[in-house]
Structure 1
């Protein structure tokens, strides 16, 4: 049943479009968009800036789908509503039910391992990219304490592995297409982290679904 639920979430993430999706997406991209606006002069005269901005929003869209539509992170409003943190934490490795759950968690984070080095040269080091995937997954698992969902070390492990697999796909892609990522530009070394973790904070602090229902 858990496997079927996760498969459904993966499919519905790309199919659902309603007022809650629009609201949550705005909450996610708002911090990164504000940061990009404040730093607009840093890329105003650089070549490929328009291409870079397009890739930024593709990256944020992926992060939003993974964080909100698939993983379903909790918010401060969930915590206020429930009045307590969830105590369901699984720290026993490989104790989750269903092999498909592991595979889906790997697949969910593969785009992160591919997009980071594609868009930002700084992330063409595997260690930095995998660490970012680990921190993203950890943020998701910790936020799920707010919404009474299971916080699972297996999810953290498989998500991190998925990032590494995605980075391997980038290496293979770069071998086939040596010029891939050659038009990458730099705004700030913290840029991808702002878009990712700023988006997570945007959901946690700003997304209160009860406004519409």
Structure 2
């Protein structure tokens, strides 16, 4: 979970690297001008360097807070609820509290300010002045963002102010450490009540990570994980008549059985037998791949054991659906799959290609289930048969009460932070399906909402990419598990 937050922050930082380079160049030009204008040659090289960094920080701050464009489709918002994203993360998972990384970045953004100010200006060597400056600068920024129709967020104000105080705490720690070095014994820490301020600095540093620790340490009953509530943009919805498919109020929860090394080896041997040749599989990240003529002809996912393989074959141009099904059953046998375990067979014919789908859910042992999902494609043009097996082996771990689709949809709308497009939609179909949650390894029931028409309430026009003449179907999901009763 923390890795996901760090990855999100790293992505945000990478996006501003070009801006940092430009700011560095502009800062150098500004420093050269200031150096000549105000005769900075009387300052030490260290202070000149800090001045350069300070100029760069000012330029970056203006660019990030005022000039950088907001995400596409985002509208002006005002958040007056402190730590709202952390509560969302706690209650609905990181997938739905995906702005928690921004809080930490806002702290980091003001840390240089808390370090630089006391170095360059002797009258800034107190928490009171650092607090007032950081708070005032952040508050002014939020007001300007309100005027320019961007956004205003109390979390930004809290994080920025905390960042300034943390920066000053880091400054105090470093000057204390430097004073301990024998070479710099002549340097005395000339700060009133240094020890008291140092303790406060450590406290502020600890407080900066408290929201994250709170979410990680405080226990929740979301042991199975959550799906992403994809309908954040839906402000109003009308359920069409008979749109909700029949469902049972209790549903099973499964845990994915990850394949062992021996299982992967058996799959490799089996696919080599199916191909009538020895396939040389090499590990590539999360997959074992077998290449031929610089092309991957087979791949095995080590996370769940799913695989595919391309096979050469002579396919008759007049191949019928029944013949494709019979050939498909022969391949099921080669894959050690009993055709009696298959409950549904579907055939889709399109452009010289026939896809045969074999699906079924079979209980093998008391708690062990095989969720079969095999697709065999007959490509007439290339004389290739593509066998894809996404069968999941899962263990039944629990049976739980679920929320109604109306309740699930209400939760998703509660999560709506008012940032993005607002849609008024007609929901055509609602049905239960299962989703694998990568973070926990569980397979949980989720509600899937389908809507094929709607209006963007902000712009009074059809939802993006919606073409009334097409068959576009928009999907939206919500966790079906009722965590409140667990």
Partner SS for 1:89: strand
Q: Against the structure 1 CA distance between its residues 155 and 73, is the aligned structure 2 distance closer, same or farther, given a 3 Å change threshold?
A: same
Task: Give 1:146 deviation, angstroms.
Answer: 4.4
Instruction: Report the counterpart of residue 48 of structure 2 in structure 1.
Output: 53
Residue from 75, 82, 100 that aligns with 1:93: 82
How far apart are the structure 1 equivalents of 2:154 and 2:54? 25
CA contact (8 A) 1:74 1:147 kept: no
Q: Offset of 1:67 from its aligned partner?
A: 3.1
- Between stretches 86-95 and 129-138, larger displacement belongs to 86-95
1:72 and 1:6 map into 2 onto residues whose CA distance is 16
TM-score by length of 2: 0.28
| CA-atom RMSD in angstroms | 3.8
SS at match of 1:151: strand
Q: Where do residues 111-150 of structure 1 align in structure 2 (5 Å cutoff)?
A: 111-150=112-151
The residue number in structure 2 matching 1:110 is 111
The structure where strand makes up a greater share of residues is: 2
SS of the residue 2:116 aligns to: helix
Asked whether 1:73 is paired with 2:86, we answer no
Summarize deviations over 1:87-144 as a string: whole Å, max 9, x none.
6322222224443222221112111111111222221112112221112212322222
Q: Distance in 1 between matches of 2:19 and 2:84?
A: 34
Name the CA distance, whole Å, in 1 between partners of 2:103 and 2:66. 18
Give aligned pairs, total: 162
Higher helix share: 1
The Cα of 1:74 is off from its aligned counterpart by 5.0
Question: What corresponds to 1:11 in structure 2?
Answer: 14
Instruction: Give the drift of 1:54.
Output: 3.2
- Consecutive unaligned residues of structure 2, counting only runs of 5 or more, are 70-74, 86-96, 188-486
Instruction: Point out which structure has higher relative CO (alpha carbons under 8 A, 6+ apart).
Output: 1
In structure 2, do the counterparts of structure 1 residues 128 and 16 end up closer, same or farther at CA, with 3 Å as the change threshold? same
Kept after mapping to 1: 8 A contact 2:124/2:130: yes
In structure 1, what is the equivalent of residue 200 of structure 2? none
Tell me the equivalent position of 2:159.
158
How far off its partner does 1:161 sit? Answer: 0.6
Unaligned runs of 5+ in 1: 79-85, 183-213
TM-score, with length taken from structure 1: 0.58
